[in-house]
Amino acid sequence: MGSNVMTKQLVSIIIPIYNVRQYILDGINIICEQSYPEIEILLIDDGSTDGSGDVCDAVAKKYNHVRVFHKQNEGAGSARNMGIDNAKGDFIYFFDIDDKAYPELIDRCVKLMNEKDVDILTFGFNVKDVKYGKGNIDSVRFPDILIESNEVLKSYYLSEILFVPYGNGFPWNKFYRKSFLDKYHLRFEDQRIQQDEVFNLKCYQHLDRMYLSSEVLYLYYIYDKGNTRSRFIPDRFDIYVSVREQFEKLRKSWSLVDSRFDDYLQKRFYQSVDQTLRFNLFHPDCPWNKEEKRNEMCRVMNHPYTIESMTWAMKNNRGLENMLYLYAYSHRNLVLLSVSSSLFAGLRALMHKLS
């Protein structure tokens, strides 16, 4: 396919915006520096309260290929859905405003989507952890693989897609053909966290043509503020359950039988229980009294997925800290859980300071 044909294909770059005023101008400049010219930028202001919406409006007045949509706060998934529904492009790309897309990202993705004739492209990315001022950059690369059927995708799913450092549920290291998303009515869920992974899991069930590219086209920043542990989420556990259910749907759809997948699901759900009870219940913004916290703990511990994951953790988790948490969970002991968590958090902070 000739380059003149490809450059006429419009790419819709969808960017959810929520209280990220300090990143907007730099993020827009990064996208405007893309070497591929045929783009539209959709800024979805998800009910920001820090003036982000005003900055978006100012940007739209400066650039005629920027469109702004304002909506009530419902999460990044809902914002991306509004972007998809209003996109005019042949391709969809989701950008996170506080990261960095390399200048050739859009150009390379359009060319590969056409050359390989695929509906989803996945590419590599660099990672910079800025939580503790670390300057080192890690790199995540994929092998170059053309997938031409859902059965072949299934065979590569565990080794090349699921078991990837830092995870592979992100939408920003993927490029989507809009007609594919519309054909199967693929949209994000309205949950507050982990909606990206659920979206991609739904895509995989319908996907026949996909390309994994070894090219590294994105820089992902890991911040302490803004991650899933930084805020109290009332229905956090229910969200984790819904994510697990989506994995179970994929397992059933593919008749996936693999002990590695089982271990992954059990380990991951135990971590979900851990985050729900150790971080959510004791978050400064948690409004629940002691009785409400105890009821939530019992509800979480009585769930069938939790019971399965606890059995797994009893066999696989070692060390004093883990054993104390397991004991506290098993005995529904909020006091022991709080004391143990504070103690080990303090020790880790001290060790970090000494190092």
Tokens for 92, please give them. 């969809």
Contact 22, 67 (CB under 8 A): no
The span from the CA of 38 to the CA of 10, in Å, is 5
Question: Vertex 285, ends 281 and 288: CA angle to 5°?
Answer: 50
Least confident segment among 46-50, 98-102, 345-349: 345-349
Residue 79 has pLDDT above 90, yes or no: yes
Q: How many CA atoms lie less than 13 Å away from 43 in the CB half-sphere?
A: 31
Q: What is the DSSP letter of 75?
A: -
**All structural domains of the chain with their residue ranges:** 3-222, 236-354
Rounded to 5 degrees, what angle do the CA atoms 107, 112, 113 make? 100
pLDDT of residue 134: 59
Closest CA to 292 of 234, 252, 244, 239: 234
Whether residue 207 is predicted with pLDDT greater than 50 in this model: the reply is yes
CA–CA distance from 251 to each of 101, 193, 259 (Å)?
A: 33, 22, 12
Domain 3-222 of CATH type 3.90.550.10: yes
Asked if the model's pLDDT at residue 5 lies above 80, the reply is no
C-alpha span between 85 and 92 (Å, rounded): 11
Query: Which structure tokens are listed for 154?
Result: 């299934």
**Of 223, 132, 260, 178, whose CA–CA distance to 12 is shortest?**
178
Residues 6+ apart with CB under 8 A from 243: 194, 197, 198, 272
Q: Mind listing the pLDDT tens digit for each residue in 113-137?
A: 999 999 999 999 999 988 666 567 8
Q: For residue 273, which of 250, 289, 296 has the smallest C-alpha distance?
A: 296
Determine contact, residues 222/129, Cβ cutoff 8 Å. yes
DSSP code per residue over 108-159: HHHHHHHHHT-SEEEEEEEEEETTTT---EEEE----EEE-SHHHHHHHIII
Tokens, residue 131:
């939580």
Q: How many CB atoms neighbour CB 174 within 10 A?
A: 21
Mean pLDDT on 9-30: 97
Determine contact, residues 324/340, Cβ cutoff 8 Å.
Answer: yes
Q: How many whole angstroms separate alpha carbon 308 and alpha carbon 334?
A: 21
Rounded to an integer, the average pLDDT of 283-301 is 96
pLDDT at 242 over 60: yes
- Separation between Cα atoms, residue 260 and residue 264, nearest integer Å: 6
The model's pLDDT over 208-231, given as tens digits with 9 standing for 90+, comes to 999 999 999 999 998 865 555 568
Q: How high is the mean pLDDT of the chain?
A: 93
Determine the distance from the C-alpha atom of residue 242 to the mean position of all C-alpha atoms in its chain, rounded to a whole number. Answer: 15
Residue 241 to residues 166, 193, 283, 304, Cα–Cα distance (Å) = 21, 12, 20, 10
Q: What is the pLDDT of residues 148-167, one digit of tens each?
A: 999 999 999 999 999 998 88
Q: What is the pLDDT of residue 132?
A: 60
pLDDT exceeds cutoff 60 at 2: no
Judge whether 20 and 98 are in contact, CB under 8 Å: yes
- pLDDT bin (cut points 50, 70, 90) of residue 13 is very high
For residue 4, what pLDDT is reported? 43
- Give the pLDDT of residue 135: 66
SS3 230: coil
Q: What tokens does 313 get?
A: 């953790």
pLDDT value for 117: 98
pLDDT tens digits, 163-205: 998 888 999 999 999 999 999 999 999 888 889 999 999 999 9
Strand partners, 140: 125
Cα–Cα distance, 156 to 143 (Å, whole number): 11
- Nearest-CA neighbor of 269 among 300, 298, 244? 244
